[in-house]
Amino acid sequence: MKRLGGMSVGAALLANAVILGVLVWASVLVELDSDYYYRSVQEDESLEWATFWGFALAAVLFWWAALKQRAEKGGLPWFFLLVGLFCFVVGMEEISWGQRVLGFRPPAYFLEHNFQQELNFHNVMDTGLRKLAVEGILWGYGVVLPILALFGPIRRLLERVGIAAPPAFLVPAFLGSVLTYREYPWEFTGELVELMFGMAMMFAALAALGAAWISLKGVLAATIVAAILGFGTAAVSRARRDAQPGSLEATDVEVEALKLDFEAYARSKNRPYLTRCGIHKRVFSYVEKYDRDRLYEGQFAGLKAQGLPEDRADFFIDPWNSPYWVRHKCDSDDPDRGVAIFLYSFGPNRKRDSSPWEIRGDDIGLVIEPQGR
């Protein structure tokens, strides 16, 4: 089969179709079934796990390429080692270093400074800086580097210092990823771009191992493996339960205390609700952003006297070490649908099952009632 830039035409077309196909899937799903799209991009679903496995497989393949390069050419294969380390770290950051899988509580620093209250470092960074870093890597590694490597003198210079560019025919995939990230056409676009990025790095790692690996069969096999692992891990995650009666009872008590705190605060401000349309935040993030400091001293905080751990009380964390959430949803296009306002926990499976309008699955929550003026 004809080869272009180190890849067969079929492999190049399939790799780009897999990556850019994520955008086609999202655009169709947003229009046809926005609720299913919303559920698909949540934590611990197939999309996130496929992202993890894309980066994880890329890490293994890049390190394999490093061993191969050392065996064939000697010296320190520093570039493949570092790119592999980058993929490993990104993959582990995607699953918060196993926090939601194992259900452990992260240190207080992450509960306070990470807006997701999870054990990962990228969400400690300023949002603008994080977005700039992602765009910079996508542009630099995925677009600029392979284009520069098309020029003989530059390619030889890169090879001399040990830098290996990804195949030029992955440029459309990387370019589509970075432009989508910049435009952000849908809610949770970042999750889609992370999947595209992971798949692109996996295919780049195949190319690092040589022409036989970046064949049509190689690309197809890698895609199938990542998909199977993604769906399989998500299924295991969905089946996992930690529903001890004590944890369920504690959550019921804690959600009730939070509900009373929100309603009491609203009464003190002579408002029907303490929140407003469009709010969907972790309770701690909501308290910090809107200066609702009195919620630190309400009935939820008072549960410390009954054994509620201080970290959970201070940062509004549920018994499974996930954040409590507050949601205030309105439909301006359909006033008859009304307003939905509720506080909820992800429950034993430590993932969001609720829709924007109601508490679903094993999520545990209560509706906030309007207060008299």
pLDDT at 123: 63
pLDDT digits (tens, 9 = 90+) for 213-245: 889 999 999 999 999 999 999 888 766 655 567
DSSP-derived 3-state class of residue 320: coil
Q: What angle do CA 234, 236, 237 make, to 5 degrees?
A: 60
Residue 334 has pLDDT above 90, yes or no: no
Tens digits of residue pLDDT in 171-186: 999 999 999 999 999 9
| More confident of the two residues 341 and 349 | 341
Give the pLDDT confidence score for residue 264 in this predicted structure.
Answer: 92
* All structural domains of the chain: 3-239 (no CATH), 245-367 (3.30.700)
* Nearest alpha carbon to residue 340 among 277, 291, 283: 277
pLDDT score recorded for residue 2:
45
pLDDT tens sequence across 302-324: 999 998 888 899 999 999 888 99
Q: What distance in Å separates the CA atoms of residue 5 and residue 139, rounded to the nearest whole number?
A: 19
Contact at 8 Å (CB) between 285 and 115? yes
What is the structure's pLDDT at 243?
54
d(CA 166, CA 86): 15
**Average pLDDT, rounded, for the chain:** 88
- Give kind and range of the element (H or E) at residue 17: helix 9-32
Instruction: Say what the pTM is.
Output: 0.76
- The pLDDT confidence band at residue 272, using thresholds 50, 70 and 90, is confident
Query: What pLDDT score does 356 carry?
Result: 86
Two structure tokens written together for 203: 């295919």
Confidence at residue 129, expressed as pLDDT on a 0 to 100 scale: 84
Give pLDDT, residue 158.
94
Report how many helices (DSSP H) and strands (DSSP E) the chain contains, helices first: 16, 6
Residue 10, Cα to own-chain centre: how many angstroms?
30
Q: What angle do CA 244, 282, 253 make, to 5 degrees?
A: 40
